[in-house]
Amino acid sequence: MVQVKNNPGRRNFLKISSMAIAAPLFLRMSKLVSLASAKAAVAGDVYNRAMDRMVEGFRAAAKKAVGWGRVSSGGMPGMARSSTVTKDALINLASGYVTYNPFWVNESYAANTRWGGLIAFPDLEGLIPGTSNLTTDAYKSAECGFERQLWPGEDYEFLRPIRVGDTLRVWNREPKLIELGHPDFEGVRGVVNVECDCDYINQRAEVVSTYKNQTVRYWFPKGAPGTTFILNRYGFTKEEIVHLDRLARKEKVRGADIRYWEDVNVGDTTDTVVIGPTNIADIYASSGGGMPGGGPGGAGAQQDVLHKLLEKEGTIVSEYVYYEGSYYKGAGRHADDISARMEGEPGAFLWGRMSVHSMLACLTNWIGDDAFVRKFSWRHVYRTVNGDASYAMGKITRKYRQNDEYLVDIALWQQDMRGFIVDAALATVALLSRTEPYPPDVTREISY
């Protein structure tokens, strides 16, 4: 039998563990604290232990995520593999972003540009499988409480164009958790979850792009926090709708008209790209026609026979939203005001990706066919409530030469009708120069 007294480290551990369990009860018996305080101390201990287990579980899994992207297929375990880029994949990638720009979606048009064919739009989400996207979902428990998730944004760097026929693999670096406390709720713990940090590598062993995606997650031990700040659906005047229509009709595509570096000045602005006015149909359309996710009471829920209102007779779990003393059949934070406000939002809000679409359309419309997006990083700033209209704009903030390229930095933002900046982005673009005899990817060699 192991003698505890001969193991000081274990003795201290047992002593501390026993104190953690017994201290609230002792204080209650000694009448030094109230029963409510003692229960709160126990609940807080349960919460913190659950949070610690979640963090430990994630970090153990993160170490295993390093390496080549693995994809499950036909019920077989995930295997490292590459994917060949097709014409349809490139067109599908861009079609959700561009309305009037044929360069990204018309193979015949793209064949007559500098690039000689289609290249990938500067947002690779969904182009090929294999990115890690490791979250805390598999490691949290009910003791962690209610989870509220925010999506702050993504970072891309594009080193080479991706073309039809390229074979790509994904190399994943270790996903990360950065722990933090909530600025407004004492004792509430959260993390910045770097879900993915990876490189896209082609068949010539060239890194063509880097990508990083992060979310912010908070867990509320006492349940959903609710909100006191509410935004109701915006009501437009006739003049506002006419104004938005005129902006939308003015959307310009630079196209084959080369935008030379020498012609650009710091302070120049792009043309606007308009979203909205929006409604629930836009949410459904942007989620592929399916139920928009996010929140209790529906978020992609399986609809069984209509007379089955509860999963377990007499017990309400997540089928309904409990808000201000009543139950409601919710549809998720992106489609239903009550579901959103229960989570702490001002109301049901648009997908963050919809603002990314318009900011990238604004950018790619302005640069023309011959430019190349080197970097694009966006950040979600505020919610765009369903029903609102917003528009993307950009401004040149820097003009410089680096590594024999002619570069400009562009600040982009999405602004709604209320005056809020809801999303922001920074982009770096390589332009052609009037002083160079050829574009940088063209060589002149004499050979007989």
Q: Could you tell me the residue ranges of all domains in the chain?
A: 41-65+80-85+120-225, 236-277+350-448, 279-349
Q: pLDDT of 133-150, one tens digit each? A: 899 999 999 999 989 888
Other C-beta atoms lying within 10 Å of the C-beta of residue 208:
20
Residue 152 — pLDDT band, cuts 50, 70, 90? confident
**What pLDDT does 105 receive?**
94
Percent of the chain exceeding pLDDT 70 equals 78
Which residues, 6+ apart, have CB-to-CB distance to 339 below 8 Å? 294, 295, 296, 297, 298, 321, 328, 330, 331, 332, 333, 348
**What pLDDT does 26 receive?**
47
| Most confident listed range (75-84, 125-134, 205-214) | 205-214
Q: 333 versus 446: which is more confidently predicted?
A: 333
Which residues, 6+ apart, have CB-to-CB distance to 322 below 8 Å? 316, 328, 342
| pLDDT, average across residues 381-388 | 83
| DSSP category for residue 315 | B
Other C-beta atoms lying within 10 Å of the C-beta of residue 225:
17
Q: Does an H or E element contain 410, and which?
A: strand 405-416
Which residues, 6+ apart, have CB-to-CB distance to 275 below 8 Å? 350, 354, 355, 357, 358, 384, 389, 390, 391, 392, 414
Per-residue burial over 26-52, b if 16 or more Cβ lie within 10 Å, else e, is eebeeeebeeeebebbeeeeebbebbe
Q: pLDDT of 208-260, one tens digit each? A: 999 999 999 999 998 888 887 888 888 888 898 888 888 888 888 999 999 99
CATH architecture observed for domain 236-277+350-448: Roll (3.10)
**What pLDDT does 37 receive?**
59
**What pLDDT does 82 receive?**
83
Kindly tell me if the per-residue pLDDT of 325 is higher than 90: no
Kindly tell me if the per-residue pLDDT of 401 is higher than 60: yes
Residue 323 pairs in a beta bridge with 326
Percent of the chain exceeding pLDDT 90 equals 47
| pLDDT, average across residues 265-271 | 96
Position 404: which residue type? D
CA-nearest of 415, 441, 411, 429 to 364 is 429
**What pLDDT does 256 receive?**
95
Residues 169, 87 contacting (CB under 8 angstroms): no
Position 74: which residue type? G
Residue 96 pairs in a beta bridge with none
Q: 166 versus 347: which is more confidently predicted?
A: 166
**What pLDDT does 295 receive?**
45
Kindly tell me if the per-residue pLDDT of 359 is higher than 90: yes
Q: What is the mean pLDDT of the chain?
A: 81
Kindly tell me if the per-residue pLDDT of 291 is higher than 60: no
Judge residue 312's burial from the number of C-beta atoms within 10 Å of its C-beta, 0-12 exposed, 13-18 middle, 19 or more buried. exposed
Out of 77-81, 157-161, 355-359, 425-429, pick the least confident.
77-81
Residue 86 pairs in a beta bridge with none
Residue 354 — pLDDT band, cuts 50, 70, 90? confident
- C-alpha–C-alpha distance, residues 76 and 78, integer Å: 6
Dihedral angle sign, alpha carbons of residues 415, 420, 426, 431: positive
- C-alpha–C-alpha distance, residues 410 and 380, integer Å: 17
**What pLDDT does 31 receive?**
53
**What pLDDT does 75 receive?**
45
Position 207: which residue type? V
| pLDDT, average across residues 395-400 | 98
Output the CA–CA distances (angstroms, integers) from residue 78 to 68, 69, 173, 201, 280, in the order listed.
11, 9, 17, 19, 37
CA-nearest of 285, 358, 281 to 100 is 358
Residue 80 — pLDDT band, cuts 50, 70, 90? low
Residue 261 — pLDDT band, cuts 50, 70, 90? very high
